[in-house]
Amino acid sequence: MTNLAKSIKGVMYGNCRPLGDIPRLFDMYRTGSIKLDELVTTRYKLDDINQAVEDMHAGRNIRGVVVHEH
């Protein structure tokens, strides 16, 4: 008889070490080692948050980013 039981286990921060990995990723971005800007399909102002959510649900953008500017 096989065991058909399944379980789901979540992880925080994608199972990284935030205190070490996040600064390292930031440095890699700053020096150009990883290209993140090219992955963004649409940028939205904070005032356009409703449009961003609507576009996400409608499939009009893949990786939209809401940018908060001072």
Residues counted in the chain: 70
pLDDT at position 16 is 87
pLDDT at position 13 is 78
Could you tell me if residue 63 is inside a domain?
Answer: yes
Could you tell me if residue 9 is inside a domain?
Answer: no
User: 19-69 pLDDT, tens per residue?
Assistant: 999 999 999 999 999 999 999 999 999 999 999 999 999 999 889 999 987
* Cα–Cα distance measured from residue 67 to residue 44, given in angstroms and rounded to the nearest whole number: 6
Provide the pLDDT confidence category of residue 70 given band limits of 50, 70 and 90.
Answer: low
Could you tell me if residue 54 is inside a domain?
Answer: yes
Residue type, position 1, single letter: M
The Cβ of residue 52 has, within 10 Å, a number of other Cβ atoms equal to: 19
pLDDT at position 32 is 95
pTM: 0.58
For residue 42, give its domain range: 14-67
Q: Tell me the DSSP string of the chain.
A: -----------SGGG--HHHHHHHHHHHHHHTSS--GGG--EEEEGGGHHHHHHHHHHTS-SSEEEE---
Structural domain tally of the chain?
A: 1
